[in-house]
Chain A
């Protein structure tokens, strides 16, 4: 059988950067092909070439054996290549049905709503997806929104589906569901190009894996030819994956105490409901839970971005319940936010300016009302060096940095004042192994120096590896507390589903 898609010696350069050097790979009909590579290995550029956003400088793309050229996403879609982006392309105010309708090309100006609804419903039924077509998209969870993106491609009968880190925003359960659907699609003969950092998923669903490194396709391995270690070492290169040694928490000094805390959202519902928690000095407290069970509210109320409706937060005995973000910071709580690009940085400003965003008014960076540009530059140089930030040329706006480097900028800023407590909300989401390891190192180094961390994560591996203790949240409450040394994934999974309480 001829390959559905062949990519031969693709090269793409930007001024001063070779994004893709020599990429070759082929995708057979009915296979799940995974692209693996660190951030900056060229995965996104390759995706953009395949979807017609970028035009390669050199190389060939063959579809069904015939050369093709994509000048725009429209061209590649017309040939049956569709992509689910990391950032969804949905109209929040429109309903599920209306969003899906947008993806269809052959809709006449006067269309039969019923006919198209049936067509969409058929796809939903086929994959046993439970989505109400008349719900506006903004009301849906991120997981459900991703389904819409996928259905958009399915109703168009795309032959090749490209999924860019689809599980980054999903719970373990949702991911499992997605994999079932992907497997079914494969069995129907569709090809899937899958991008992920999570090794376990890659092992689970791939038929073949292609490893990218520095803009080159290193090797393509079929199932059975690879294991986790092999892939990891190919991806990172010769470097060993370091194992960090974590000190045992002594549980002697209370760093933070949350008492009967409740937080209500705009609709008057409780995001946090009578929540109680204790955090000790030097402790890494893992918080597990399906997204949307109050983790974000917890992080935001701790960092002063939201107000508590009742209850108290005590930092070393001092009440900080309803302080602004600034005074919380002074009280020593640092925050690595969930969505680093939306709230973590000022994208148009330089790395140096972003690094002082939290303490720009401190005496270290100003003289009277004027900023001390020299001090800000010195600080930037020191932090870029200390936190291994690839910042590019001087005065480079932060938005040109890769995801991992942006996260490093945020971490450098948050940790620069030696905080007593760090609240990290999904800090490694979407990061490659190397960058994620770095975040882990920072958290453990902090713990060694007495910093306490609330690590909110959906990655159970990460939680099990780092935490002294794991608590599980469900519907704004703490439903369980387990010891990572003795617990099992299943136990945590059950707690997350809210079916049992420990």
Chain B
């Protein structure tokens, strides 16, 4: 007897939906042993995660607050991935977006709320886009690997922002803390229900919808898909692949940059150190799990939001180390990715000998 794998020619729709759910359940089951080992009742812990992230208005609002930047960054990353352009630099692009928005908020002197928010949005969009666009030009003109460029530019972006907040943009009344002055009311997004939940979330949903229409319905989306599927064929069909590489990286970075805008305008109301705790990297995982679909990105980002908030609450109520949250995320990712294999393959027991 022997266990062999076999490719499923047709993967069923039911399986595609059921597999992620089952894999999350398995991950919870396995994580339960970790919790037991740490002396925590897993069922209580899960109830707590649910309570803290979904079970109350406050918890839900916190989850959505985390979901918002993840949606923006993941949409940007997915767009590039669709064309087989590997933008690993969403983190840096978020910082650039935050930086652009902050620049406008602090120094433009605009007083109208609508005008201010629009200007901040555009600045973030442009800064994120141009930052990623550098990698686009290098890739399109000289075939420089965009993975390396976007990745390394993250460090430049993060340290650049640090320079600003430790140096020229530091709040003179900030007791020497590395942060800028608070934004005026005109530069703040609307908050709801007396929580930190802000209108950036709705902007993210709108952005996902636009991205869906862009990719699935427009002529440009079609071009991106052709180039992603076979760049040689695209060139042969007369598409300008070089221009497309730049445009897609620009747009990808621009959308990731909006995450930075939404964080400073909606949440922090100032630029400070660590404005993004790795949203840009999580976005890569989200894009992958969501199979680069805009709608999938919204769902997976929400799930990640739950994990982030739930993980925090475990730390607070049981003094579990932060590593627990990471182990938790890791397990869920592991089983989700493994389920991918079972969607496309089946296991079979084979009787019989190998050779005569």
A residues whose Cβ falls under 8 Å from a Cβ of B = 14-16, 66-69, 71, 75, 303-305, 324-329, 335, 337, 342-349, 353, 357-358, 360-361, 366, 369-371, 373
Is A75's CB under 8 angstroms from B354's CB?
A: yes
Provide the residues of chain A in CB contact with B230, threshold 8 Å: 342-343, 345-347
Expressed in whole angstroms, the minimum distance between the Cβ of A114 and any Cβ of chain B is: 36
Task: Report the Cα distance A192→B220, complex, angstroms.
Answer: 51
Task: Report the Cα distance A358→B9, complex, angstroms.
Answer: 30
Chain B residue with Cβ nearest A15: B9
Is A325's CB under 8 angstroms from B235's CB?
A: yes
Q: Which of B28-36, B102-110, B183-191, B221-229 faces chain A?
A: B221-229
Is A14's CB under 8 angstroms from B238's CB?
A: no
B residues whose Cβ falls under 8 Å from a Cβ of A = 4, 9-10, 213, 217-223, 225-226, 228-230, 232-240, 352-356
Task: Report the Cα distance A15→B346, complex, angstroms.
Answer: 14
Chain A residue with Cβ nearest B220: A369
A to B CB contacts below 8 Å, 11 in the list:
A67-B356, A68-B355, A325-B238, A346-B233, A346-B234, A353-B225, A353-B226, A360-B222, A360-B223, A366-B219, A370-B219
Provide the residues of chain B in CB contact with A324, threshold 8 Å: 238, 240
Provide the residues of chain A in CB contact with B222, threshold 8 Å: 353, 360, 371
Provide the residues of chain B in CB contact with A337, threshold 8 Å: 236
Task: Report the Cα distance A366→B236, complex, angstroms.
Answer: 21
Q: Which of A16, A342, A346, A370 contacts B226 (CB 8 A)?
A: A346
Chain A residue with Cβ nearest B353: A69
Task: Report the Cα distance A345→B231, complex, angstroms.
Answer: 10
Is B219's CB under 8 angstroms from A371's CB?
A: yes
Is B233's CB under 8 angstroms from A357's CB?
A: yes
Task: Report the Cα distance A66→B353, complex, angstroms.
Answer: 13
Expressed in whole angstroms, the minimum distance between the Cβ of B32 and any Cβ of chain A is: 38
Identify the interface centre among A328, A335, A346: most chain B CB within 10 Å of its CB: A346
Task: Report the Cα distance A420→B9, complex, angstroms.
Answer: 42
Provide the residues of chain A in CB contact with B10, threshold 8 Å: 15
Is B219's CB under 8 angstroms from A360's CB?
A: yes
Is A370's CB under 8 angstroms from B356's CB?
A: no
Task: Report the Cα distance A303→B233, complex, angstroms.
Answer: 13
Provide the residues of chain A in CB contact with B233, threshold 8 Å: 342-346, 357
Expressed in whole angstroms, the minimum distance between the Cβ of A368 and any Cβ of chain B is: 9
| Given A15-B10, A325-B238, A369-B219, residue A346 in contact with residue B353 (CB < 8 A) | no
Expressed in whole angstroms, the minimum distance between the Cβ of A297 and any Cβ of chain B is: 15
Is A370's CB under 8 angstroms from B235's CB?
A: no
Chain B residue with Cβ nearest A71: B354
Task: Report the Cα distance A327→B226, complex, angstroms.
Answer: 19
> Given A305-B235, A345-B233, A360-B219, 17 other A-B contacts at CB below 8 A?
A15-B9, A71-B354, A75-B355, A324-B238, A326-B237, A326-B238, A327-B238, A343-B235, A343-B236, A346-B225, A347-B229, A348-B225, A357-B226, A357-B237, A360-B223, A361-B219, A366-B219
Is B356's CB under 8 angstroms from A66's CB?
A: yes
Task: Report the Cα distance A310→B222, complex, angstroms.
Answer: 35
Is A304's CB under 8 angstroms from B238's CB?
A: yes
Chain A residue with Cβ nearest B217: A370
Provide the residues of chain B in CB contact with A370, threshold 8 Å: 213, 217-219
Provide the residues of chain A in CB contact with B228, threshold 8 Å: 348
Is B354's CB under 8 angstroms from A69's CB?
A: yes
Is B226's CB under 8 angstroms from A349's CB?
A: yes
Is A305's CB under 8 angstroms from B236's CB?
A: yes
Task: Report the Cα distance A373→B216, complex, angstroms.
Answer: 10
Q: Which of B9, B225, B236, B352 contacts A344 (CB 8 A)?
A: B236
Expressed in whole angstroms, the minimum distance between the Cβ of B260 and any Cβ of chain A is: 27
Provide the residues of chain B in CB contact with A343, threshold 8 Å: 230, 232-233, 235-236
Chain A residue with Cβ nearest B234: A346
Provide the residues of chain B in CB contact with A357, threshold 8 Å: 226, 233-234, 237
Q: Which of B217, B232, B354 contacts A371 (CB 8 A)?
A: B217
Task: Report the Cα distance A353→B233, complex, angstroms.
Answer: 13
Expressed in whole angstroms, the minimum distance between the Cβ of A307 and any Cβ of chain B is: 13
Task: Report the Cα distance A123→B218, complex, angstroms.
Answer: 58
Chain A residue with Cβ nearest B237: A357
Provide the residues of chain B in CB contact with A327, threshold 8 Å: 238
Provide the residues of chain B in CB contact with A304, threshold 8 Å: 238
Expressed in whole angstroms, the minimum distance between the Cβ of A288 and any Cβ of chain B is: 24
Provide the residues of chain B in CB contact with A71, threshold 8 Å: 4, 354
Provide the residues of chain A in CB contact with B225, threshold 8 Å: 346, 348-349, 353
Task: Report the Cα distance A366→B222, complex, angstroms.
Answer: 11
Expressed in whole angstroms, the minimum distance between the Cβ of B244 and any Cβ of chain A is: 13
Provide the residues of chain A in CB contact with B218, threshold 8 Å: 369-371
Expressed in whole angstroms, the minimum distance between the Cβ of A168 and any Cβ of chain B is: 20
Provide the residues of chain B in CB contact with A369, threshold 8 Å: 218-220
| Given A326-B238, A370-B219, A371-B217, residue A348 in contact with residue B354 (CB < 8 A) | no
Chain A residue with Cβ nearest B223: A360
Task: Report the Cα distance A27→B354, complex, angstroms.
Answer: 22
Provide the residues of chain B in CB contact with A335, threshold 8 Å: 236
